[in-house]
Amino acid sequence: MFSSLYPFTFVLSLAALSGWFFYRDNEQRSELLRKIFLSGIAGFGVCWLMAEGQWSYKFLSLLRELLVLGTVPILLSIFRKTKWGYVVALLGVLTGLRFFYFEKLKNTFPQADFPKGKIEITAAPAGLDPNGELLLELKEGVQLADIQDVLKKYGLTARPAFTPKDIDATQLDNYFVVDVPANDDFPKVKKELSSLAQTEWLEENEQVSISPMEMEPMRPSLPIDKKFGLNDPGLVNLWGFEEMKVDELYSVLKDKKPVKRALIAILDTGVDANHEDLKANFISTKPAYDIDKAGHGTHCAGIAAAVSNNGVGVASFSQTNEYVRVTSVKVLSDGGMGTQQSIINGMLEAADRGADVLSLSLGGLSTDSRQRAYQKALDYVNKKGCIVVVAAGNANRNAKDFVPANVDGVITVSAVDTLLNRASFSNTTPDVKMGIAAPGVKIYSTIPGSVYASFNGTSMATPYVAGLLGLMKSLNPDLTTKEAYKILNETGAETQQTQETGRLIQPGKAVSKIVN
């Protein structure tokens, strides 16, 4: 409540103070405006005091607002001799503040929307998508009308599951999502559909989710390490830059120009497209994807492609911001829930829009022994030139039991902590073909409203790898997944449990393999 009243009490105080300056020779009006100002500034003070946020941040915000409160009335007093001139100038100032400053005021304390300690993302219940439990692949040339008797028998409804743009490059257009009524016939339905001569494949449309994000306390402010050559204040919180030797990367990139500006697609809960540390690197896929109520997708986007060296927020591997861009494809609900169908459609859409790297910080336990639809989707996006990076998962189990981390052909990312131990929550990657590690504990990045927070998860490790692969693709657009993984693995550093995590990415050494 206090954070939402903050901008209105400020504007009221500013308007009253400006009027008080103008009418200071009119005792009656001056007294009224003085009372309004004092009431407004008192309310503003209460809002500032009660709003959630670090005290260092709150004092900087207060200083900013006091400078505006002190400067605007003085500047307006220049027009005091002409009433209409003063009114026009005041309206001009208030209009300017409305369009150029009010949004910043509104977002001064968005931390109030992110409870201390944990952002609760709704956990996926055991089971399937209640609106479409099965994914049915019909044989080439078969139509739904050909199995209408079975659909009618059980009261099933079916609709096309996937929408690839290039239908000649895949058989995913033969898939249908089948909604099974809530009754005891599900095993019979599954068995009968599987046995049909017209059926090529049948699998369950499983639900997946992102894990709850643990909010980490902020580190004390420290001087920015000059060896990185960046002025982003949040750099002091990016401990992973030391372990990944990002200064070596920047040395390798000096005077190296990209062949193209690679596009990284964050398949998640959406991304705050107007975030101060993302918007210069952001390109919109759809307006509906450019909002993030959960915060998860925005956090991932900042790790992969935050604007570096702009004096605000954090930095990414792209020091000069000419190597990568980032976009959002919303495949999860605001509560962090999705399905196999929604994720695959997101993969297809991102590839069809020209993405070079797909970053998927999501997943769940898989009950099917094979994930044929995911495999076909991966084949499709690979043909389009995409590399797919997936979180290993946060269950402290083997990633081979989690989808899409276990899909053959994705790069699966585990998380390490500040001591390069496997993070206590991170799934292991010895039984997936392309496992790699990145920092995933106390990861400081962007969240909606042009603010920042630290979270834990393989979700946070994944966009580090995606950001590096985007950089590598910008230098070699023809780089394949296998080629890229070979470079990451050969140049990676040992962790405390390399056998469980894979090797820790070393961006400088990896990029050296591309440019030398």
Annotated catalytic sites, by residue?
A: 268, 296, 459
Note the residue count of the chain. Answer: 516
Q: What is the pTM of this model?
A: 0.77
Cα separation, 176 vs 146, in Å, equals 13
The gap from C-alpha 235 to its chain's centroid, in whole angstroms, comes to 19
* Ranges of the chain with pLDDT below 50: 56, 110-126
Name the average pLDDT for the chain.
86
Mark 331-349 as b/e (b = at least 16 C-beta within 10 Å): bbbbbbbbbbbbbbbbbbb
Q: At what angle do helices 27-50 and 2-22 cross, to 10 degrees?
A: 160
Q: Fold identical between 134-205 and 231-515? A: no
Cα separation, 395 vs 397, in Å, equals 5
What topology does CATH give the domain 231-515? Rossmann fold (3.40.50)
Helices (H), 51-167: 55-76, 83-100, 102-106, 148-154
- CATH number, span 134-205: 3.30.70
DSSP state string for 147-159: GHHHHHHHT-EEE
Query: Residue 503: what residue type?
Result: R
Q: Closest by alpha carbon to 269, among 241, 246, 299?
A: 299
Cα separation, 508 vs 516, in Å, equals 12
Do residues 189 and 126 touch, judged by C-beta distance below 8 A?
A: no
402: part of which helix (H) or strand (E)?
strand 402-403
Predicted confidence at residue 43, as pLDDT, reads 83
Predicted confidence at residue 220, as pLDDT, reads 52
**Cα–Cα distances in Å, from 228 out to 203, 303, 417?**
49, 16, 21
**E-strand spans in 210-301?**
213-216, 262-268
- The single residue listed with the structure tokens 């692969």 is 469
Q: Closest by alpha carbon to 339, among 369, 374, 293?
A: 374
- Those residues with Cβ within 8 angstroms of residue 247's Cβ, 6 or more apart along the chain or in another chain: 227, 228, 229, 241, 508
Q: What is the CA radius of gyration of the chain?
A: 27
Task: Give the residue extent of every domain in the chain.
Answer: 2-113, 134-205, 231-515
Predicted confidence at residue 264, as pLDDT, reads 98
Predicted confidence at residue 392, as pLDDT, reads 96
Q: Closest by alpha carbon to 413, among 393, 391, 444?
A: 391
